[in-house]
Amino acid sequence: MAAQDSGSRRAVMVALVLVMLTCAGGMPVSRQRLEVQKHLKRLNKPAVKSIKSPDGDIIDCVHASHQPAFDHPFLKNHTVQLRPTFHPEGLFDESKTASSKESKAITQLWHLNGRCPEGTIPIRRTKRDDILRASSVKRYGRKKHRSFPQPRSADPDLINESGHQHAIAYVEGDKYYGAKATINVWQPRIQQPNEFSLSQLWILGGSFGEDLNSIEAGWQVSPDLYGDNNTRLFTYWTSDAYQATGCYNLLCSGFIQVNSEIAMGASIFPVSGYHGSQYDISILVWKDPKEGHWWMQFGNDYVLGYWPSFLFSYLADSASMIEWGGEVVNSEPDGEHTSTQMGSGHFPEEGFGKASYFRNIQIVDGSNNLKAPKGVGTFTEQSNCYDVQNGNNGDWGSFFYFGGPGKNSKCP
């Protein structure tokens, strides 16, 4: 009898252990752990040197030829283009970037503790917790579907379905070969960990259906992706409307980095203060007319790398729309609105030092020249929550203020 009781107890204990070893999604914990470990090994390449950033990040200096881009089957025998053939407004001049090396300001927090050697690229190390915060290992580093602004449609059902809201300026109706902007940098408050707030430019091709091509760059605050509320430089790309292709930063193969000084996904420092000092970053993305790749430049000094043209269908030729502005995720149910801030968290009419801005927005034309955009439109789904106001003057060229607090008396 005692032996029988003991056997029953053992069976119950085994059953309990099996339950405990199964995660919420039905996958055994041991299998999930194995998948996470495999993914970490894929992402975190062997480092020549590692730098601990004051914000807790570890920046690995990885040999440029070992970066995640080359996991792509089409890039196995790719000859890296070390610099663009042409820069907008003329032939790319390397002396432009070399001349100011002595006087570069700190642009990312990790620079306080060191730099990566030539021939390597800095990669923010992915931690186990980063992946576990994602809905699945497969979705880590990817945007959810329907996260693009549609200026022609402010359908409330679409807003509620997607949960993404925008305040943007845009141009369409021509062929575009790049875009530039100087973007005011803030640290907006995020209400829920699964929400984010960003300021970016979009280079878009195709329709807003399943075939959308997009290249994106700017700054973002995303607790879900990074595990904190720091303002970080980011990029994104997709060739199928965020379904299966593309990712943030270097979290999948695609973008080829050639710069040893700027880390995608690393914290930007310093940020602007309300009624205080204002800081901004300059971002340029353009299509090299000779090789066809899409290059990215950060500030005046850092040509970061490129997205090979074969990644795209429509963008292999040109873009059909350019957008600049802000985006947030509103995850609140039952018609409630999030208090996640966009930009500075203040409305455009408050102006300089209080509201966030984009200035000197430009497009790259078919002759590889930077030009002020014509016929700039603006769009926001709910102007009582987040708004946008554009203008033009001699100092700032084409500019706009944008953003807002989200939930307030007029945006319940």
Q: Where are the domains of the chain?
A: 48-142+154-403
What pLDDT is stored for residue 209 in this prediction? 79
Q: What secondary structure, in 3-state letters, does 316-336 show?
A: HCCEEEEEEEEEEECCCCCCC
Per-residue pLDDT at 339 exceeds 60? yes
Give this prediction's pTM: 0.88
Per-residue pLDDT at 104 exceeds 60? no
**182-241 pLDDT, tens per residue?**
999 999 999 999 999 999 999 999 987 788 999 999 999 999 999 999 999 999 999 999
Residue 10 pLDDT class (50, 70, 90 cuts): low
**340-387 pLDDT, tens per residue?**
999 999 999 999 999 999 999 999 999 999 999 999 999 999 999 999
Task: Please report the sign of the dihedral spanned by the C-alpha atoms of residue 148, residue 149, residue 151, residue 154.
Answer: positive
Per the model's pLDDT, the better-predicted residue between 75 and 321 turns out to be 321
Going from the C-alpha of 4 to that of each of 12, 13, 15, 16, 72, the distances in angstroms are: 12, 14, 17, 18, 58
Asked if 125 and 57 touch (Cβ cutoff 8 Å), the reply is yes
**302-328 pLDDT, tens per residue?**
999 999 999 999 999 999 999 999 999
Per-residue pLDDT at 16 exceeds 70? no
Report which of 6, 249, 242, 203 is spatially closest to residue 108, judged by C-alpha positions. 249
Residues noted as catalytic? 216, 327
Q: What percent of the chain has pLDDT over 70?
A: 85
Q: For residues 10 and 252, what is the distance between their CA atoms, to the nearest angstrom? A: 45
Residue 107 pLDDT class (50, 70, 90 cuts): confident
CB atoms within 10 A of CB 78: 13
What pLDDT is stored for residue 143 in this prediction? 87
Average pLDDT over residues 262-290: 96
Q: What secondary structure, in 3-state letters, does the chain show?
A: CHHHHHHHHHHHHHHHHHHHCECCCCCEHHHHHHHHHHHHHHHCCCEEEEEECCCCCEEEEEEHHHCHHHHCHHHCCCCCCCCCCEECCEECCHHHHHCCHHHCCCCEHHHHHCCCCCCEEEEECCCHHHHHCCCCCCCCCCCCCCCCCCCCCCCHHHHHHHCEEEEEEEEEEEEECEEEEEEECCCCCCCCCCCCEEEEEEEEECCCCCCCEEEEEEEEECHHHHCCCCCEEEEEEECCCCCCCCCECCCCCCCEECCCCCCCCCEECCCCCCCCCCCEEEEEEEECCCCCCEEEEECCCEEEEEECHHHCCHHHCCEEEEEEEEEEECCCCCCCCCCCCECCCCCHHHCCCCCEEEEEEEEECCCCCEECCCCCEEEECCCCCCEEEEEEECCCEEEEEEEECCCECCEC
Return mean pLDDT, the chain. Answer: 88
Residue 93 pLDDT class (50, 70, 90 cuts): low
